[in-house]
Each structure stands twice: as C-alpha cells, then as structure tokens.
Amino acid sequence: MGSEWREGRLGDFIELHRGYDLPQQDRRPGSIPLVSSSGISDHHAVAMIDGPGVVTGRYGTIGQVFYIDEPFWPLNTTLYVSDFKGNDPRFSSYLLRTVNFLAFSDKAAVPGVNRNHVHEAIIRWPAKVAEQKRIAGILGALDDKIELNRRMSQTLESMARAHFKSWFVDFDPVRAKVEGLGTALPSLIADLFPDSFEDSGIGPIPVGWRAGTVGDEFHVVMGQSPPGSTYNLDGTGAPFYQGRADFGERFPSRRVYCTEPTRHASAGDTLVCVRAPVGDTNQASEDCAIGRGLAAVRHRSDAVSYTYLAMRNLRDAFAAYEAGGTVFGAIGKDQFRDLPVLAPTEEAVVAFEQVAGSLDGRLANAQAQMSSLIAVRDGLLPVLLASRRMAPSPGTERVDP
C-alpha cells in the first residue's frame, strides 16, 4: 500500500529565507562553501548555516536547486531553507526542483523571486518522513554517481591542464635540460624539447619554437546566426549553439536545432565565446552549427586536446575585450586571429596530444555517463513525486514519521 501524501502550500512544508551579503573584501580563505544562485561560487572561513541545507536562486539563475551536506554560507542572491519543519532535507531539495520558480518571478528589469510569493506554491509530499527518505535515497544514489563522474572529469581535465602548463607555459623539460637535469620524460618525447631559450615578442621561448598568432596556428570559423524562423526544438536540422548559455562543464547542452545553418563546427572543435563572456570555452561533442556568439577553433595539426587547452590559456588575452567600456564585451574576427600565441613544433604538439587525448577520452566517457544518469534521474523525479494516495485533510491530520 502506498504511503499517504498531503497537499498544501510550499510554506506548509518548508520555510525559505533570504541569503546573506558577503562582500568580496570581507571574505577570508577557508573551506566553507559560498552558495550563489548558480551553485558553489567561492569559499570562506566562516559558515552562516549548518548543513545539510537546500539553496535556490532568488536573483540571477532562477530555478536551480542545490543540496549542501555541510555547513555553508548562502549569499544574498539566494533563498535557503531555514526550517524543514521535520521533513527530510534531501527530499526537500528534490521536491523544490518541481516548483516553477519563474511563475513567481516579478517583471522587473532584473527578475527576482519573493519568498512570500513562492511559499504559496501548491505542492504534494509524503506525510511519512520514512517515505521521503526512501524517495531521496533512490534519487540521491543517482546524484552521488553523477557527482563522482563530475569530480572524475574535473580531475582528468586538471591533469591535462597541468601537462599543458608544464610543457608550453613553464617549459619544464627545457629548463631541466638547461640545468643539466633529467626531464622525467621518455627519451623520444624529451628529444622534442631544446636545451636553451631565445627571446621573442612573447618573452623567452624554447629555441626553434616561434611566437605566432591564433590565425597562424589555428583554423578559426566565426559563427553567424541564421534567421530565427529556422530554429526548432523538434530535432530537425543541425544542433545549434549560440553562446555561453548553451555550455556545459566541457561539452555544450543541445538547446535548439537549425534547418538552415550558415556556419559549422566539427566534433572536437573548441567553441570559444566571442561575445560576453569573451573567452569562455567548451568543446563540440558532434558536428553542429554555431551562431554569432561563438567561434570554432582547431590547431592546424588537427590536435583537439591541445586546441582546447591553448584557448583556455588565452583567458587573460580575452579578458581585455571584456573591459573595453562597451555594454557587451566582444572580440572581432581580426582581433581574434591576431592574438599572440606560442607556436611549438608540430612534433611537440602531436606528442602532447597523445598524452592529453588519452585523458580527454576518459573525460568524455565520464561526461557521457553523467548525461545518461541525469536523464534517468530527471525522468524518475516526476514519477517518484507523483502522489499515490492523498491524506483526507492536508495539514490537519498528524501522521507520525
């Protein structure tokens, strides 16, 4: 027999409270998560709320819900659960994901959610906490696996970035040779690095390498947006990405399709935002179309992983186009192509690709598994939260957990 479910206001189930301001100058190094409307955005030395907790966006990103299982500080762009009223915290986080927060958003220039308004949302929930925990346990097991894959992806990317920095930023193998030390690399790879430096327009670089430009070293396709009437959500045409809003952790999420694409990117191309925020990167997981907010980039050697990390390494150069005094930052085609970059020998790039490509292959597998798990979780969520038997009078009959 299914457990009894109640129907009532969200405010009958939990109480939301506005987060707390913490200016940048008041933050101190620590391990306490600072939770913004888009999730954990920084850390601090002091917690404002004991965990576990649940946070959602009040301004900025509205509708995302975050479960925090440790002490934390909810920032003032958020609402957090200040009183679970005896209900299970993790179940509460899943139930909140079913609430349409945008329906309670005002119409101001910067839309926001008023907690008093969202408290009026009508919801259904299991009366018994044991049933709440059972549902949360099923969904939580999926979320735990998703988080494991996310951390694995971050670790693999950090490893690839560390290799890139060692070879092409710090020049560790070259410096080791200059000092008469071993490179700790296989001899075939170590032989690709010279044993001295020379001056260049971008500072000292290994002898035999060059100071080049993005246009010299990479193929660049600037996006162009087709007419809006060619977009659809039913899968007709090519997957289409416009800008940062379409990006995921490494690979973009499919937003719309386009029946008349004008500019294309190939699977493996690095997608770079050329409009605010300039320089943000993702990698195309399949052939796709790109709009005016993006450029598709690939090294002339066809090295995919090298391209992605080289574009990430240009973030300081891209940042200059965010501070030009315009309303929206942007970088043009010629400006993009003229950005200075290091030009290693092609042999060194290919050798790096063998190392980083292996890491990125594992990352892609972890991301694909994570996407599948998210789809399963999101499919189960409405099924598990569908009420099966309603209590006769919401909020009036006490049902012991």
Provide the CATH number for the domain around residue 88.
3.90.220.20
Flag whether 65 is in a domain. Answer: yes
The per-residue pLDDT for 328 is: 66
Flag whether 215 is in a domain. Answer: yes
Flag whether 178 is in a domain. Answer: no
Which is more confidently placed, 297 or 252? 297
Out of 322, 343, 364, a domain closes at 343
From residue 217, give the alpha-carbon distance in Å to each of 170, 246, 281, 348, 357.
Answer: 20, 27, 18, 14, 19
Out of 343, 373, 395, a domain closes at 343
Q: Are residues 120 and 216 in the same domain?
A: no
Flag whether 171 is in a domain. Answer: no
Out of 104, 126, 148, a domain closes at 126
**Are the CB atoms for 399 and 4 separated by under 8 Å?**
yes
Overall domain count for the chain: 2
Using 50, 70 and 90 to split pLDDT, how confident is the model at 109?
Answer: low
Flag whether 22 is in a domain. Answer: yes
The per-residue pLDDT for 60 is: 74
Closest CA to 290 of 307, 273, 276: 273
What is d(CA 136, CA 142) in angstroms, rounded to the nearest whole number? 10
Flag whether 43 is in a domain. Answer: yes
The per-residue pLDDT for 2 is: 53
Flag whether 255 is in a domain. Answer: yes
Closest CA to 273 of 305, 238, 244: 244
What is d(CA 60, CA 81) in angstroms, rounded to the nearest whole number? 18
What is d(CA 100, CA 120) in angstroms, rounded to the nearest whole number? 12
The residue-averaged pLDDT of 62-83 equals 94
Locate 327 and state its tokens.
């309303």
Residue span of the structural domain in which 271 resides: 210-343
181-206: pLDDT as tens digits: 999 999 999 999 999 999 999 999 99
Flag whether 339 is in a domain. Answer: yes
Q: Are residues 334 and 215 in the same domain?
A: yes
Q: Are residues 118 and 229 in the same domain?
A: no
Q: Tell me, rounded to whole angstroms, the distance of Cα 400 from its chain centroid.
A: 41
Q: Are residues 119 and 234 in the same domain?
A: no
140-197: pLDDT as tens digits: 999 999 999 999 999 999 999 999 999 999 999 999 999 999 999 999 999 999 999 9
The per-residue pLDDT for 101 is: 87
Locate 302 and state its tokens.
């066809």
